[in-house]
């Protein structure tokens, strides 16, 4: 260590004893806000009809990441964020491994982001959706590194107010116990309020990590009337109005979180990251991915490119767009980089904090969107610089088209549904010149050498291929537990836990007490 550095550290330590923590040299706090089902066009800077002023303000104080990627579905994205690993290495891709009875689960041998941050002295809080397992206490948020948990275990529910799963099982938790008091309350409001409570109560002498995992735009498409009236009365299309109001509700919460951080005097020392878990569903609700192609559950850009805003202390440039490649698996190493922690050796992501901080090109220039090893959809996609190679379909016929925003309907043919011819042929797009994935250049002879390079690179990510990169395989088959229907509900009609025994986990000794 250099002499100067030693002096600075000594001065810092002295300051920390004299000044409030916000003025010392404490590690930055981290607030990660996942906005489920947010489409590329669901923010006011991409569609002025939307009402997301607080996210816009964060964008002005930080960076807009224009090539930030996630998985085409929620569970896999949460797994990637929490583990820093490609979720297909847990056997989880798209819909596979995500049915509620079989439980998707991240192999317990990997420590997750909150566990890593705890080691660095952070308090850790999860508010909202978990979706990484619950049938054994060892899979629940507390066992995976969260000091506190308030939220839901499952991916989707029947209502935004009544927290029953699509199977009719009540799913709302306070820590390890079922929380019946949430019944009847709009979940976005509950999560915003809890985030504020966490911030209010957290001890400022310690850094904190808050993961606010909002359902926001997830179906069912319901929102209290006052959000529609206050923020979205100008929207004439009913579905778009609902979408506008759901995101306005989340955005209002973000405004309150920012204010709470300021009131606490820690705003300047807090990282705030807002992103989507996958693209918008577009067809069912009022979300818009336009001009990107496809929806959630496709590996086109509309399903995988997240509207991402990143604000952090120490950025050299703000209010600019950073167009480097960044993938969900990069956030664990990047956030640990900001927190100056050691990097775990099992991850696939890169620490891109130096690039973000200095507004430099990304150290990442390739990634996989999906691998061709899941039986339901039969496709894979690989990114190399500006090039995207898709093998197979890319998504279902219904979800792979271009869906313009409602106010543009009459400018486009096909009644707003600009359907593309659906084929299984390989596709190569230059996303720099063709971000909407319209011009398939796979057969262009000028691209022949490029394709040879890309094909060779893909093999590095596939199972059992000679030369596959260490750590990227084996591709673990999804672990199915021997559970039967009915095991996942307790006598009160709520979600049960303690009914499976994943290999490698200790027996269930820490089961919840049922409360009414
Ligand atoms: C979990 O990962 C470890 C290390 O890669 C592996 O040995 C083990 O088999 C995995 N467990 C399951 C159930 O897949
Ligand atoms: C914050 O906590 C204090 C003390 O517990 C309480 O009086 C106050 O109402 C809380 N504020 C919010 C916004 O929760
Ligand atoms: C950010 O940039 C935009 C566009 O250049 C400008 O209108 C806006 O005032 C800037 N905001 C801040 C906070 O500097
Ligand atoms: C595309 O591939 C899928 C999955 O293999 C298959 O079911 C479908 O029939 C194929 N469609 C065409 C048009 O070839
Ligand atoms: C499609 O890409 C090719 C290059 O492979 C180019 O020559 C052609 O002009 C492009 N077509 C359109 C409509 O952009
Ligand atoms: C939710 O599930 C609980 C428990 O099974 C049941 O009592 C309740 O009626 C359900 N509520 C709704 C709105 O479906």
Report pLDDT digits (tens) over 334-392: 999 999 999 998 889 999 999 999 999 999 999 998 765 433 456 788 999 999 999 88
Give the number of the ligand closest to the Cα of residue 422. Answer: 4
Residue 37: name the closest of 249, 279, 322 by CA.
279
What's the mean pLDDT when you consider all of the chain?
A: 85
Residue of the CA atom closest to atom 10 of ligand 2: 200
Give the integer Cα–Cα distance in Å for 464 and 442.
26
Binding site membership of 196 for ligand 2 (Cβ less than 6 Å): yes
Name the CATH architecture for the domain at 27-364: 3-Layer(aba) Sandwich (3.40)
- Residue 101, pLDDT score: 38
61-75, 403-417, 493-507: segment of lowest average pLDDT: 403-417
Alpha helices for 20-149 (secondary structure H): 53-61, 74-83, 113-119
pLDDT at residue 419 greater than cutoff 50: yes
Using the mean position of ligand 1's atoms as its centre, give its distance from the Cα of residue 49 in Å. Answer: 48
Average the pLDDT over 309-316 and give the result: 98
Residue of the CA atom closest to atom 13 of ligand 1: 503
Q: Residue 308's beta-bridge partner residues?
A: 65
pLDDT at residue 7 greater than cutoff 60: no
Ligand 1 pocket test, candidate residues 86, 87, 102, 109, most atoms within 8 A of CB: 109
**Residue 472 or residue 211, greater confidence:** 211
Separation in Å, CA 158 to CA 161, 164, 245, 261, 295: 9, 6, 19, 33, 21
Q: How confident is the model at residue 295 (pLDDT cuts 50, 70, 90)?
A: very high
Give the integer Cα–Cα distance in Å for 72 and 94.
6
Binding site membership of 441 for ligand 5 (Cβ less than 6 Å): yes
User: Which SS3 state, helix, strand or coil, does residue 444 take?
Assistant: coil
- Residue 471, pLDDT score: 42
Categorise residue 323: left if φ over 0, alpha if ψ from -120 to 50, beta otherwise.
Answer: alpha
Ligand 2 pocket test, candidate residues 199, 200, 262, most atoms within 8 A of CB: 200
- Residue 511, pLDDT score: 59
pTM score, whole prediction: 0.91
Give the number of the ligand closest to the Cα of residue 166. Answer: 6
Average the pLDDT over 128-138 and give the result: 87
pLDDT at residue 23 greater than cutoff 60: no
Cα angle 357-10-313, degrees, rounded to a multiple of 5:
20
Cα angle 407-411-416, degrees, rounded to a multiple of 5:
70
Give the integer Cα–Cα distance in Å for 269 and 263.
13
Give the number of the ligand closest to the Cα of residue 60. Answer: 3
22-26, 31-35, 440-444: segment of lowest average pLDDT: 22-26
5-9, 241-245, 252-256, 396-400: segment of lowest average pLDDT: 5-9
**Do the domains at 27-364 and 370-462 have one common CATH topology?**
no
Tokens of 191: 């999560």
Q: How confident is the model at residue 450 (pLDDT cuts 50, 70, 90)?
A: very high
Q: Domain ranges for the chain, please list them.
A: 27-364, 370-462
- Residue 137, pLDDT score: 84
Using the mean position of ligand 3's atoms as its centre, give its distance from the Cα of residue 61 in Å. Answer: 9
User: Which SS3 state, helix, strand or coil, does residue 333 take?
Assistant: helix
Using the mean position of ligand 3's atoms as its centre, give its distance from the Cα of residue 192 in Å. Answer: 27
**Residue 481 or residue 216, greater confidence:** 216
Binding site membership of 170 for ligand 6 (Cβ less than 6 Å): yes
- Residue 102, pLDDT score: 46
- Residue 416, pLDDT score: 47
- Residue 196, pLDDT score: 98
Helix axes 238-263, 225-232, angle to 10 degrees: 90
pLDDT at residue 5 greater than cutoff 50: no
Give the number of the ligand closest to the Cα of residue 450. Answer: 5
- Residue 312, pLDDT score: 98
- Residue 91, pLDDT score: 64
Tokens of 504: 């490698």
Q: How confident is the model at residue 51 (pLDDT cuts 50, 70, 90)?
A: very high
Q: Which uninterrupted H or E stretch holds 178?
A: strand 177-178
47-51, 271-275, 421-425, 467-471: segment of lowest average pLDDT: 467-471
Using the mean position of ligand 1's atoms as its centre, give its distance from the Cα of residue 107 in Å. Answer: 6
Cα angle 110-115-118, degrees, rounded to a multiple of 5:
155
Residue of the CA atom closest to atom 13 of ligand 6: 162
Residue of the CA atom closest to atom 11 of ligand 5: 439
- Residue 465, pLDDT score: 52
**Residue 422 or residue 80, greater confidence:** 80
Residue of the CA atom closest to atom 3 of ligand 1: 109
Give the integer Cα–Cα distance in Å for 451 and 388.
10
Binding site membership of 319 for ligand 3 (Cβ less than 6 Å): yes
Binding site membership of 197 for ligand 2 (Cβ less than 6 Å): yes
Using the mean position of ligand 4's atoms as its centre, give its distance from the Cα of residue 392 in Å. Answer: 8
Decide the pairing of beta strands 320-322 and 63-69.
parallel
Using the mean position of ligand 4's atoms as its centre, give its distance from the Cα of residue 424 in Å. Answer: 6
pLDDT at residue 496 greater than cutoff 70: yes
Q: How confident is the model at residue 74 (pLDDT cuts 50, 70, 90)?
A: confident
CA 495 remoteness from chain centre: 24
Tokens of 415: 């009644």
Give the number of the ligand closest to the Cα of residue 428. Answer: 5
Q: Which uninterrupted H or E stretch holds 254?
A: helix 238-263
Residue of the CA atom closest to atom 11 of ligand 1: 107
Residue of the CA atom closest to atom 13 of ligand 5: 439
Instruction: Give CATH for domain 370-462.
Output: 3.30.1120.10
| Residue range 139-160, pLDDT digits in tens | 889 999 999 999 999 888 999 9
- Residue 21, pLDDT score: 43
As a whole-number percent, the residues of the chain with pLDDT over 90 amount to 61
Spatial contact of 353 and 338, defined as CB atoms under 8 Å apart: yes
Give the number of the ligand closest to the Cα of residue 159. Answer: 6
């Amino acid at each position: 260590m250099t002499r100067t550095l030693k002096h600075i550290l000594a001065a810092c330590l002295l300051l920390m004893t004299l000044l409030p923590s916000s003025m010392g040299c404490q590690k930055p706090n981290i607030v990660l806000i996942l906005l489920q089902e947010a489409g590329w066009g669901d923010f006011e800077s991409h569609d002025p009809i939307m009402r997301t002023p607080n996210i816009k303000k964060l964008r002005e104080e930080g960076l807009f990441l224009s090539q930030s990627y996630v998985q085409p579905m929620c569970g896999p994205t949460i797994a990637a964020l929490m583990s820093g690993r490609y979720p297909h290495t847990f056997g989880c891709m798209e819909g596979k491994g995500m049915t509620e009875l079989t439980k998707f689960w991240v192999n317990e041998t990997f420590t997750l982001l909150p566990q890593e941050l705890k080691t660095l002295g952070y308090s850790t809080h999860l508010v909202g959706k978990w979706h990484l397992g619950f049938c054994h206490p060892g899979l629940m948020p507390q066992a995976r590194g969260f000091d506190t948990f308030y939220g839901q275990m499952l991916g989707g529910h029947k209502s935004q107010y009544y927290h029953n799963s699509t199977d009719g099982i009540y799913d709302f938790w306070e820590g390890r116990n079922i929380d019946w008091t949430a019944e009847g309350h709009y979940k976005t409001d509950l999560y915003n309020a809890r985030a504020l409570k966490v911030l209010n109560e957290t001890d400022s002498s310690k850094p904190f990590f808050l993961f606010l995992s909002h359902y926001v735009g997830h179906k069912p498409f319901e929102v209290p009337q006052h959000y529609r009236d206050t923020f979205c009365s100008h929207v004439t299309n009913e579905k778009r109005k609902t979408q506008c109001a759901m995101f306005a509700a989340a955005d209002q919460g973000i405004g309150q979180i920012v204010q709470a951080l300021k009131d606490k005097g820690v705003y300047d020392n807090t990282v705030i990251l807002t992103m989507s878990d996958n693209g918008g569903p577009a067809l069912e609700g009022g979300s818009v991915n336009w001009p990107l192609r496809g929806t959630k559950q496709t590996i086109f850009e509309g399903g995988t490119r997240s509207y991402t805003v990143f604000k952090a202390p120490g950025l050299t440039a703000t209010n600019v767009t950073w167009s480097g490649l960044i993938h969900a698996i990069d956030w664990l190493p990047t956030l640990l980089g900001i927190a100056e922690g050691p990097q775990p050796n099992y991850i696939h992501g890169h620490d891109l904090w130096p690039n973000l901080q200095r507004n430099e090109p990304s150290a990442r220039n390739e990634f996989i969107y999906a691998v061709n090893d899941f039986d339901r959809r039969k496709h894979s996609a690989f990114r190399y610089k500006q090039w995207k190679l898709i093998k197979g379909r890319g998504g279902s016929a219904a979800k792979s088209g271009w869906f313009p925003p409602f106010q543009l309907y009459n400018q486009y043919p096909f009644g707003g549904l600009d359907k593309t011819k659906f084929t299984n042929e390989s596709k190569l797009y230059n996303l720099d010149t063709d971000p909407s994935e319209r011009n398939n250049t796979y057969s262009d002879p000028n691209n022949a050498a490029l394709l040879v390079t890309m094909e060779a690179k893909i093999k590095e990510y596939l199972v059992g291929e000679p030369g596959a990169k260490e750590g990227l395989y084996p591709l673990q088959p999804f672990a199915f537990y021997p559970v039967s229907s009915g095991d996942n509900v307790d006598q009160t009609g709520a979600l049960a836990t303690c009914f499976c025994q994943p290999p490698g986990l200790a027996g269930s000794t820490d089961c919840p007490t049922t409360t009414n």
